């Protein structure tokens, strides 16, 4: 399982802005991040699944 930092996530989403990413999380378009220590990470497989679901 690979975890993405916020910067990794931004890069994967084509440079999307912070506000847009968090809005997509709130609206359920992207999965919620997991907190490890004091930082937030996204599971790459969950992001890939969300992108595939939204692309259809």
What is the tens place of the pLDDT at every residue in 39-54?
A: 999 999 999 999 999 8
Residue for token pair 């992001």? 47
Q: What is the pTM of this model?
A: 0.88
What is the tens place of the pLDDT at every residue in 2-47?
A: 999 999 999 999 999 999 999 999 999 999 999 999 999 999 999 9
| Closest to 24 in 3D by CA, of 44, 3, 54, 1 | 54
- The domain spans of the chain are 3-55
């Amino acid at each position: 399982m690979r975890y993405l930092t916020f910067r990794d996530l931004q890069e994967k989403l084509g440079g999307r802005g912070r506000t847009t990413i968090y809005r997509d999380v709130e609206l359920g378009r992207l999965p919620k991040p997991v907190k490890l220590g004091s930082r937030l990470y996204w599971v790459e497989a969950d992001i890939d699944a969300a992108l595939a679901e939204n692309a259809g």
